[in-house]
Structure 1
Amino acid sequence: MSMTTNPYAQRSQYNQDAILSATPVRLLTMLYDRLLLDLGRAEAAQSAENWSVAGENLLHAQAIVSELSSTLRVDAWDGGEGLMALYTYVSTAMISANIHHDIERTRESIALLEPLRQTWHEAAAMLPAQAPVTNIGGTLGVA
């Protein structure tokens, strides 16, 4: 008997496998990619005054920033405290954007986080493929 597989279930399984097998470097870049995707979707939904979709995307973006914050080891490097302050600020901005339907706060969050996303991608591209990598709480270091 042939079983038909749901394409959505296949995609979900593929995404889960990609996350579970990702290196810490790749996982960090994936988180930043999704964070900016959520914020872009929230901005588009706010422009269309689709507040429920905007809220859903802002909440997901907040969850990603919360994860990045909770894993950040501020004492591991000189920029740790600054990055934590940025995460705190952006988190507050996203909450305000959601509560007050404030597209400018969403745009501000994008403007602050997009350069970080680019930097993490550039840093990941410079790491040797075989180098052991440690996740120092939202930042990366080569062991």
Structure 2
Amino acid sequence: MITSPYEKYKQSSVQTSTPAQLLIMLYDGAIRFIRGAVEAINAEDIQKKNELIGKAQAIVSELRATLNHSYEISAQLDKLYEYINYLLIEANIRKDAAKATEAVDYLVDLRESWIQASKVVISGQEQVNSNG
């Protein structure tokens, strides 16, 4: 049972979001977890590093699992997500903040691309709605 106002807000936010907004939320979560893992690596907090990288890997796995393979770009995204997961494994095993930072860089770029794409879609929908 959700009791805190913040949890209620989060649940409502997820339930009322568009697919593009949900995707951006996933990117935000993965980026936040990996940045936290970098801090944990630098602080030599192994347990926190493991936990945060595990959460980021779960998100990347979800991103891979939900790809629609009827589009050509999905194969390219799948390979990129696979590489990001590899970077996270390496960062975790080797306690390598640079590998984690590289993974964040890819996710930030993907996030920005999806934000731009969603703006184009919204703009197109507004034009269709205003014309007819």
Shorter-chain TM-score above 0.5: yes
Give the CA deviation at 1:111: 1.9
- Cα 1:111–1:130, aligned 2, differ >3 Å: closer, same or farther? closer
Q: Does 1:68 align with 2:63?
A: yes
Q: Which residue of 2 aligns with 1:111?
A: 105
CA shift digits 1:59-101 (9 cap, x unpaired): 1110100001001122x22221111001111112112211221
Deviation by residue 1:108-139 (Cα, 9 ceiling, x = unmatched) = 111222111111111122222795xxxxxxxx
Are residues 1:126 and 2:129 paired?
A: no
Distance (Å, rounded) in 1 between the aligned partners of 2:100 and 2:87: 7
Long gaps (5+) in structure 2:
126-132
Q: 1:135 maps to what in 2?
A: none
Distance 2:113 2:124 in 1: 20
Once residues 14 and 46 of structure 1 are traced to their aligned partners in structure 2, the CA distance between those partners, rounded to angstroms, is 32
Structure 2 length-normalised TM: 0.84
Once the 2 structures are TM-superposed, how far is the Cα of residue 32 of structure 1 from its aligned partner? 0.9
Q: 2:128 matched to which residue of 1? A: none
Report the AA paired with residue 48 of structure 2. V
1:51 and 2:46 equivalent? yes
Q: Distance in 1 between matches of 2:57 and 2:41?
A: 16
The corresponding residue for 1:89 is 83
Please report the RMSD computed on the Cα atoms of aligned residues, expressed in angstroms: 1.7
Structure with the bigger percentage of strand: 1
Determine which structure has the larger helix proportion and give its number.
2
- Aligned AA for 1:90? I
Aligned to 2:23: 28
Q: What is the rounded CA distance, in whole Å, between the counterparts of 1:24 and 1:130 in structure 2?
A: 16
